[in-house]
Amino acid sequence: MARLHFGNVISRDQTTRNSPAFVPSWITILFTISVPLIIALGYLLRVGYLHRSKINALRKQGIPMPKEWSWFTGHLLTLQKYVDQIPPDANVNLAMKDLAREYAETEVFLMDFWPVYPPLLMVYSPEAAIQVSTKYNLPKTDMHLRFIKPITGGPNVISMSDNEWKTWRSLFNPGFSTAVMMDNVPHIVDSVQVYCEILKEKAGKANHAFRDADLDYQRSENVLATALGYITRWYSFWDPRILMHPLRPFIQKYYGHVMNKYIRNELDHQFLEIKQEKLSNENSIHSKRAKSVITLALEACVAENQDKNITAMTKLDDDFARYATYQIRLFLFAGNDTTSKTLSLYPPAATMRSGRAGIAVTDRHGNTYPMDHVDATTLHSAVHNNPRVWPRPDKFLPERFLVEPDHELYPNPAAYRPFEQGLRNRIGQTLVYNEMRILMIMTARVIDIKPAYDEWDALKEKEVGLFARVVRKFAGEPIKTVHGDRAYQTKKVGTHPANGYPCHVDIVKQ
């Protein structure tokens, strides 16, 4: 039976092969692969054509944009000539700021970065920025989640829009009230005290140039801070060397998992404590607990489940715990990586908002920029450096914030927006100001900090190899400053100063 069956198969095969209708298998494979490819390519070309046609129409309407626009690459190559003028590790926003200066007349212009980014209205006029953030309060773009997901693990209060955002924002708002921030002051003082001690230990040593990385996490290792450190080290908004690195997704996923596990344990632990308190009739989590973001998230969970008996719940709802974890990861990142910057000269963040049919931004001359097909970003570095509204914008003049409104230095409130403005402004503003003030008071009176870039560069120069020296002969000396500033902002998340700000520390008063 088996032989007969085998024989039958062979003869059927042969019949097929000899038949004129037989198509060789490689042609079938080629056909199977190429048809979907051609369809996909056709689809992409159509989407690309439709997109570029819309931008071309805006171009014809006279919307200001760099003239190098092309049907194939849009403005993708335009920024390169500005990027070439800054050090390789400098933040791309600094190149964008230079480009923006060419649009001083309108302070609004369009960049077509599609398909890498959506096409963006670049706004650095305070009047137009207010329309984006406050008048229309445009929703966040999908890019927010794409950018921040490696750090937070999922949707969070920065990336969310509309009702979802409202729910989470109102949940965390009480945790950042002025009263809670005042309660927090002793913790800040304790931590700054540790920072000062470390500075004093570094002072007066033979080689006392040090970098901010040395101070990370203060005295001891912390699982969350270490994991977050790895995730942010492998993070970039635009650097292809990082974005296309094959290890990046794995490393970020692994450390994301470490953070999730740690936070989930903490949530479960605190949930059990709340349950215990309820059981022992200490119905007072609101008054007794410090309002950490974890406590706030749990309070919301308890409030949401008022109909259920919390003491009967064996564990936290998994979906709730997952979303709360994304938010907590966001707060850890925001609190860890952005504080203590000279915010007006070096704004570390910005905003990107989604366009909407029927909405148009108007520049100071009354020209309108329809947002039916384009999103908008407020270029904080350029707004803060706008010479029309900031006299001597490059100068460090802290008195700008002390003078009366009739003084020429008095800042236009809409032009100072390191924390953004409107309903989507930064939640931790009071916390940041408290931290900065306490840090300044406790350090500036007793410790003298001076930049040590000359020494740093001399040290690094000794390490340059023969090959690099030969390359320099042809390519020229590397650029080390941005408009004369050696402590320029780098592309490290949080825009840390170049080389971690090597400096000398001296104790001026015990």
Contacts with ligand HEM, residue ranges (CB under 6 A): 157-158, 169, 331, 334-335, 338-339, 341, 343, 348-349, 351, 418-420, 424, 426-428, 431-432
Residue number with CB closer to ligand HEM (120 or 203): 120
Residue 497 in 3-state DSSP?
strand
Main-chain dihedrals φ then ψ at residue 318, nearest 5 degrees: -60, -40
Are 443 and 203 in contact by the 8 Å Cβ rule? The answer is no
Alpha-carbon separation of residue 41 from 6, 53, 86, 114, 281 (angstroms): 44, 18, 37, 16, 66
Residue number with CB closer to ligand HEM (107 or 375): 375
- 113/451 Cα distance (integer angstroms): 37
Residue number with CB closer to ligand HEM (344 or 499): 344
Provide, rounded to whole angstroms, the least separation between the CB of residue 338 and ligand HEM. 4
Joined together, the tokens standing for residue 356 give 């909407």
Residue number with CB closer to ligand HEM (329 or 341): 341
- 339/451 Cα distance (integer angstroms): 19
- 423/133 Cα distance (integer angstroms): 8
174 secondary structure, DSSP code:
G
Residue number with CB closer to ligand HEM (75 or 341): 341
HSE (side-chain half, CA atoms, 13 Å) at 82: 19
Residue number with CB closer to ligand HEM (74 or 418): 418
Instruction: Compute the residue count for the chain.
Output: 510
- Name the residue among 446, 424, 422, 439 with its Cα closest to residue 340: 439
Alpha-carbon separation of residue 366 from 73, 149, 212, 369, 472 (angstroms): 30, 38, 46, 10, 49
Are 171 and 341 in contact by the 8 Å Cβ rule? The answer is no
Provide, rounded to whole angstroms, the least separation between the CB of residue 432 and ligand HEM. 4
Residue number with CB closer to ligand HEM (74 or 428): 428
Residue number with CB closer to ligand HEM (251 or 438): 438
Residue number with CB closer to ligand HEM (108 or 132): 132
Main-chain dihedrals φ then ψ at residue 12, nearest 5 degrees: -65, -40
Alpha-carbon separation of residue 388 from 126, 384, 431 (angstroms): 10, 10, 31
496 secondary structure, DSSP code:
P
Question: Strand locations in 423-468, DSSP E?
Answer: 447-451
CB atoms within 10 A of CB 237: 14
Measured between alpha carbons, how far apart are the two ends of the chain, in Å? 101
Residue number with CB closer to ligand HEM (331 or 390): 331
Provide, rounded to whole angstroms, the least separation between the CB of residue 347 and ligand HEM. 6
Provide, rounded to whole angstroms, the least separation between the CB of residue 139 and ligand HEM. 11
- 325/285 Cα distance (integer angstroms): 20
Provide, rounded to whole angstroms, the least separation between the CB of residue 96 and ligand HEM. 15
Provide, rounded to whole angstroms, the least separation between the CB of residue 283 and ligand HEM. 29
Cis amide linkage into residue 115, ω under 30° from 0: yes
Alpha-carbon separation of residue 208 from 199, 200, 220, 488, 504 (angstroms): 10, 10, 21, 21, 6
Provide, rounded to whole angstroms, the least separation between the CB of residue 348 and ligand HEM. 5
Provide, rounded to whole angstroms, the least separation between the CB of residue 46 and ligand HEM. 32
Residue number with CB closer to ligand HEM (78 or 351): 351
Provide, rounded to whole angstroms, the least separation between the CB of residue 202 and ligand HEM. 24
